[in-house]
Amino acid sequence: MFIIALIPLLAAVFDIAVSCFVALSPYEIAQIGEPGMKVKRRVQVTSNSDDGKQWSVEQNTQQMQSTDDAFIGKDLPHFHHHANATMYVGSGVTRNLPEHLEDIKLLYASFSDVVTHNRNYIVIYGEGDWTVALTRATGVNDGPIFGLDGGLLAPTFRAINPTIMTIAHWNGGQMIEEYLWQDPVTMYRQLGFLPIRPAKNLPEIGQNPLPGKLGEEDPAANKAKLMESDNAFNAGKFDAQSLRLSPHVTVYGFDDEGSNLEGLLEQLKALKTAFPDLQIGNKPYRQVIVQGEWTTTIAMLSGTHEGALTLPVYLAAAPVAATGRKFNLLHYTICRWRDGQIVEMRVNIDWFGIIGALGISL
């Protein structure tokens, strides 16, 4: 049994992101979901460049790749981050650039050979001055690492390869705002700190052939249907038509193999039972990025724990009784569209953030 609650401030768990790993304390993870917490932007960007020249999406995606080159090569002076950049880690921890760089150095100490696979991203696209990149990170834990109870542990010498994501806001070739996500639960399972070690190569969005022929997708129409889908989610209309889901949809994030339509609807109904007021903050979204068949959202997800919560089996063997507490967390989705329907989706859930916000001891 593992205790994941308000562990002392100096304990740390590690979140991974496309351009870095970052070290977070469980205290910080617990605080980000508090109902009174608001994840505020610390920067406002009105131009895509300091000299007023607009960078293209292609140029920005190349900068994303170059940023990961610098991370892999431990070349932090060429990390393409603005001096006033703000990083949002996981579901809401905020970092400035000096803090971010210190986090990366801690990561190098625990995983000296860490690589983000930026020459074969799973997905990379963008809109305007935003980019979205999804890939895997690989590395071996060959240095000291903090365990779930906050104690510093000897290296496990186990390999990790989780899916990682970054959503970046660019200004003249430098990141001014960055949203970094990785499910730390997956990494802790790979390290052996949580039970049921996942398979080495789990399926992922964007890696599977889809039925039918890819046609010309209408980004504006997909953006509108995305809003309709989340409106239905907020209203508790959990059916394929309301949620704009293909009958053949696969959704990644709730389990290791991906959920089909029936499995997803069951999961949504279970979450609605646990959190009757469950809401995605889509009016407005924090950000929407659309290109071709892809959409990405950044939004706040909130709810009050008023019913039994079923967590993944590697976190809890039985449903957790209602605590009456609330969470309010950054939430990310990536959707792939065909003919007005979602055919693939990645839902990035921060189980540790939710657990911490609800004060659950497992």
Residue 40 confidence class, pLDDT cut points 50, 70, 90:
low
Give the phi and the psi of residue 314 in degrees, each rounded to 5: -80, -5
Q: Which one, of 84, 79, 90, 81, lies nearest residue 24 by Cα?
A: 90
* pTM tops 0.85, yes or no: yes
Q: Is the pLDDT of residue 268 over 80?
A: yes
Instruction: Give residue 333's pLDDT.
Output: 98
The CATH number that domain 219-353 falls under is 3.10.450.50
The answer to whether the beta carbons of residues 71 and 105 sit under 8 Å apart is no
Q: Which residues of the chain are in CATH 3.10.450.50 domains?
A: 13-191, 219-353
**Other beta carbons less than 10 A from residue 217's beta carbon:** 18
Lowest mean pLDDT among 39-48, 276-285, 339-348: 39-48
What three-state secondary structure class fits 184?
Answer: helix
Q: Is the pLDDT of residue 270 over 70?
A: yes
List, for residues 127-150, the tens digit of each pLDDT value.
999 999 999 999 999 999 988 877
Average pLDDT on 160-179 reads 96
Compute the C-alpha angle 288/292/297, nearest 5°: 20
Residue 184 confidence class, pLDDT cut points 50, 70, 90:
confident
Lowest mean pLDDT among 50-64, 233-247, 289-303, 329-343: 50-64
The CATH number that domain 13-191 falls under is 3.10.450.50
Q: Is the pLDDT of residue 1 over 60?
A: no
